[in-house]
Amino acid sequence: MILAIDIGNSNVVVGCIDSKQTYFVERVSTNVNLTVLEYAITIKNILELYHINPKGLEGAIISSVVPPISNTVKLSVEKIIGKPCLLVGPGIKTGLNIVMDNPATVGSDLVVTAVAGIKEYQAPFVVIDMGTATTISCVDRHHNYIGGAIMPGIRVSLESLAQKAAQLYTISLETPKHVIGKNTIECMRSGIVLGSASMLDGMIDRFAEELGEIPTVIATGGLSKAIIPHCRHEIIYDDSLLLKGLWIIYAKNQ
């Protein structure tokens, strides 16, 4: 069993995984001000919650899109498990062929989910990850990572509405009763929840058109659960996709 961590702009995803199963997936807020010790305490407390002895872990691996705290979290992990921790980046073998203008600019989280998708699902496929940004990644039938799309995330959109429109405010992501809202809150929920679902449906259609075939569609990320049920396309929700990819990359580098 290893400790797998994905550092995102809003959340740090922490989990334990091996070749057989994912033992847990938890999220804590990303905080660039925490010290090595503070992150170590947070991660150790999560492990203790699941009765996992940090010293008994085989190793650890991290992917990160927040460079200022990548090394901080890496050092905190090494402090609590007493073993080296891998960081996805230059020099790490992933086995993924990236067909992009500049492969080095592809986020490590996108690489990791693509690696997991190749092992777990039928290609071609797209991966929808709904976090601070909503990203759609595409892998073709030959297992090449060929690109994707990036859109503002749901929370970012809500916060922007609340900040820029004087009569609007932040709301919870509950399912609206109707598409045609009868009050401000219902109108916003319709726009955010059903509007986001419609956007994903439309993008999936366009991806399929450009691929020339219908792709498998996988969704991950903490906010996906609120949106995916309202999509009209068949979408597989896999909350452990990132951790599965980290396990595969960890194994490739041993």
Q: What's the pLDDT tens digit per position in 175-220?
A: 888 999 999 889 888 998 999 999 999 999 999 999 999 999 999 9
Q: Is 86 annotated as a binding residue?
A: no
Q: Are residues 41 and 103 in the same domain?
A: no
**Does residue 166 have a pLDDT over 70?**
no
Cross-strand bridge partners of residue 22: 17
The pLDDT assigned to 169 comes to: 66
The pLDDT assigned to 168 comes to: 65
Question: Structure pTM?
Answer: 0.89
Q: Are residues 202 and 102 in the same domain?
A: yes
State the Cα angle at 117 between 113 and 123, rounded to 5°: 135
d(CA 115, CA 109): 10
Q: Are residues 10 and 111 in the same domain?
A: no
Longest CA span, the chain? 58
Q: Are residues 201 and 124 in the same domain?
A: yes
Q: Is 238 annotated as a binding residue?
A: no
Q: Which of the pair, 166 or 66, is modelled with greater confidence?
A: 66
The pLDDT assigned to 174 comes to: 82
Q: Is 56 annotated as a binding residue?
A: no
d(CA 52, CA 66): 27
Q: Are residues 75 and 131 in the same domain?
A: no
Question: What does the block give as tokens for 172?
Answer: 């919870």
Last residue of a domain, one of 87, 117, 146: 87
Q: Are residues 13 and 104 in the same domain?
A: no
Last residue of a domain, one of 54, 87, 120: 87
Decide if 13 contacts 26 (C-beta within 8 A).
yes
**Number of domains observed in the structure of the chain:** 2
- Kindly state the percentage of the chain with pLDDT values over 90: 77
Q: Is 8 annotated as a binding residue?
A: yes
> Average pLDDT for residues 32-61, to the nearest whole number?
96
The pLDDT assigned to 173 comes to: 76
Condensed to tens digits (0 to 9), the pLDDT of residues 105-133 reads 899 999 999 999 999 999 999 999 998 89
d(CA 188, CA 180): 10
Catalytic residue among 101, 109, 140, 239: 109
Q: Is 76 annotated as a binding residue?
A: no
Asked if the structure places residue 63 within a domain, the reply is yes
The pLDDT assigned to 39 comes to: 97
Average pLDDT of the chain is: 93
Asked if the structure places residue 92 within a domain, the reply is no
Residues making up the chain, counted from first to last: 254
Q: Are residues 188 and 115 in the same domain?
A: yes
Asked if the structure places residue 162 within a domain, the reply is yes
Q: Are residues 106 and 63 in the same domain?
A: no
The CATH number covering residue 205 comes to 3.30.420.40
d(CA 186, CA 165): 16
Q: Are residues 45 and 161 in the same domain?
A: no
Asked if the structure places residue 235 within a domain, the reply is yes
In the chain, alpha helices (H):
36-49, 67-81, 108-120, 154-164, 184-189, 195-211, 224-227, 241-252
Asked if the structure places residue 183 within a domain, the reply is yes
Which amino acid makes up residue 199?
Answer: M
d(CA 204, CA 182): 30
Q: Is 12 annotated as a binding residue?
A: yes
Q: Are residues 165 and 72 in the same domain?
A: no
Which residues are CB-neighbours of 104 under 8 A, at least 6 positions away?
A: 90
Element (H, E) at 17: strand 11-17
Asked if the structure places residue 232 within a domain, the reply is yes
**Does residue 165 have a pLDDT over 90?**
no
| Structural domain for 75, as ranges | 2-87
CA dist list (Å): 158 to 11, 121, 195, 209, 224 = 17, 32, 12, 30, 15
Asked if the structure places residue 125 within a domain, the reply is yes
Which residues are CB-neighbours of 249 under 8 A, at least 6 positions away?
A: 61, 86, 88, 92, 93, 94, 112, 115
Q: Are residues 128 and 191 in the same domain?
A: yes
Check if 109 is active-site.
yes
Decide if 193 contacts 230 (C-beta within 8 A).
yes
- Residue 144's pLDDT band, with cuts at 50, 70 and 90, is very high
